[in-house]
Structure 1
């Protein structure tokens, strides 16, 4: 029973950690703009491929994260602090940044529209699986102690991808329903949630360093030598 609760906690943690950063509601208007003129079938195909690419990117970083940490000698508390700072910055930018210049947004969307296939870039990378979601995914490696834990995280990533695909499929109706003001408000709310997640990452990292047995032993030996 405790094992099931542990896996359920990891799965829910993955959902709660990734959904605010990926923020499919905010991605909806941009997706509509860069696929303007495409048929519904073409949009559906681009959204599906983009979400598949997103899963592939995040799972690659999840699996490769352990090897990267080992190779560079990065500790789990250090990863949590670095990822927390990055995620906090992204959340603060979403919460406080002014709305992007309309001319700049139009230029970016026009450049994306000229692409034959936008499913990998800019949809999957960086819209859906950007630095923030990659940092959070790397942080999940500190929660996994067995292959079944990794399976629970991957299941969470796939669930986020399915939700994102559903939102992108319905993005036209959703944007018309909540309007630009609603999209902006959701982005601010998601930004606050992301900031909270980032701060908690930093706190967990500091606690991990402060309670590290090697560090405590070194401090104890140092005090004993005084």
Structure 2
């Protein structure tokens, strides 16, 4: 049976109460967050930046990023109201710089070119229409903005067993994309300079980094008037 957003929402609603205490915070989420913050710092330095964190959960990464880069403005988006509700204390503490939004990754409620960075850590395998989600990420990034997308690395035997066997058995028919599949999706969405880095460990993950391309100018048509065959004939006869 195909995995859909209703299943994802129900699963994360059940998980929301124990989300901040689960073992994955230590095994996977913490290392992923550190990798993202390190990369953003390397690219942006201490400049003020706007960041959209898709699949933000209870806001743990958003609060860590804001603490590391105090000049940043972070919007956390999640499909599940229960996840956002469980992060209420974090949202209040950072209320002037971190903003929670309930929304769908396939229809991001933001104008084109709104963000310098988009992050998405360890939720992408729950997205039924991954290509549409990445196309939306490209749309709301500024030209030259960066997408940093992390998900489980399943191309090696250990990662395949964890993500394609164990996680699929527990969470349903979710889909961890291969590194090749990620490159295909990012290329089709219009991203450039795609780079990938594998982080090894008990729960290995793949960091995909890509740069949003400049929009293609609209073609305004030829700068001449096309005459009809009859008008050309009349002119030649005169």
Shorter-chain TM-score bucket reads: under 0.3
Could you tell me the TM-score, scaled by structure 1's length? Answer: 0.21
Q: Which has the higher contact order (CA 8 A, sep 6+)?
A: 1
Which of structures 1 and 2 has the bigger CA Rg?
A: 2
Greater per-residue helix proportion: 1
Could you tell me the TM-score, scaled by structure 2's length? Answer: 0.20
